[in-house]
Amino acid sequence: MHGANYKSLYERFQLEVPETVYDLSENVNFLGAPPAIKTVWPALLETISSYPHPEAEPLRSTLAQTHNVSSNHILVGNGAAELLTFFANRFSGKRVIILHPTFSEYKLTLDAAGAEVVELVIEDLHNYQLPLSAIKEAMKDASCIYFCNPNNPTGALISKTILEELIRYGEQVNCEIVVDEAFMDWTDEKNSVIPIVPRHNHVTVFRSMTKMYGIAGVRLGYLVGSPQLVEQLENKLPHWHVNQLAIELGEICLQDESFRLESIRKSNEIKQDITLFLEQHDCIVLKSAANFLCFQLKKYEQTREFYFHCLKRGVVLRHTENYEGLNGQWLRIGMKDHAAMEAFKLCIDEWCK
């Protein structure tokens, strides 16, 4: 279902695992964790014998300061996935809108919660034009709508102006707004709606710290929402649900802004290079604000064959067969190091001969 599980792929399709495998199906920062983490790692061992702070302090306060909001607007979680799950549980028997193509976890958690999921599809992927009329019509009878910004899997960025319009409309029709900003820290943050959350109790923003900072195995995310929502979810979450190592690592990551900026710079350089390469091979490439690209082969009906062509050569791409609106006709590729991208280029060159 997700990327970053290539061993299961090879096993499922009974393929021999090549000696070298480049996993481009996942989108965690290829630079890994900030260097400061390696420096302090031995000292962190001393923290594992103590219980963590139940509200994930001091990380919670640091996040509040980072986003210029009060700490009672912040809820830290064991990955954003945990918070999405508990958030979805509020909508049992209620209508919730999701916009395809989008992150599969929204529908999975909403279905598990017993919500009635209303699914809209964005047809214009190249310009990523939201069907505003259809969205507003659906919002009239819905309890909540989910936006993914930048979008996963396309990388498209919704302007803050459009989101503010929909936020104001949601206030009128009593429809909550969720904005998943898991990849917003790969941008200049100008389109984040976190600054307006304190003025709108019906808006909740989800953030992940695992993609940018290369700590997916630790599990760390947070939401920014109304104090009432934070308290409500906090009362349902297990005690000590964020471990002490995650709290410590989150603090270190937030202090290293130079690492984030350097990560963005390098990712954008690679993205620019691979976009040009793909276009030279007659592929369609969607504009992405994140650290991944979504592209389509000239003969998109051969997408599955190309996927396995790459797999057999040790290059794992993210298929889109479980993304409504992409229907297996596109592929997503994470920005990785030089060796990985060169291996991918070789796959394209061989395929196009």
pLDDT tens track for 205-253? 999 999 999 999 999 999 999 999 999 999 999 999 999 999 999 999 9
Question: What pLDDT sits at residue 7?
Answer: 83
User: What angle do helix axes 59-67 and 244-254 make, rounded to 10 degrees?
Assistant: 30
Q: What is the mean pLDDT of the chain?
A: 95
Question: What pLDDT sits at residue 78?
Answer: 95
Window from 10-19, 150-159, 328-337 with minimum mean pLDDT: 10-19
Q: What pTM was estimated for this model as a whole?
A: 0.95
**How do beta strands 284-285 and 292-296 pair?**
antiparallel
Give 285: exposed, middle or buried? Use CB within 10 Å, 0-12, 13-18, 19+: buried
Outline which parts of the chain fall under CATH 3.40.640.10. 35-254
How does residue 6 score in pLDDT terms, banded at 50, 70 and 90? confident
Question: What pLDDT sits at residue 316?
Answer: 95
Outline which parts of the chain fall under CATH 3.90.1150.10. 6-33+258-352
Strand order in the sheet with 284-285: 284-285, 292-296, 331-334, 318-319
> What would you measure as the largest C-alpha separation in the chain, in angstroms?
60
Secondary structure class of 17 (helix, strand, coil)? coil
Question: What pLDDT sits at residue 343?
Answer: 97
CATH for 6-33+258-352 (3.40.605.10, 3.40.50.2000, 3.30.70.3270, 3.90.1150.10):
3.90.1150.10
Q: What is the CATH number of domain 35-254?
A: 3.40.640.10
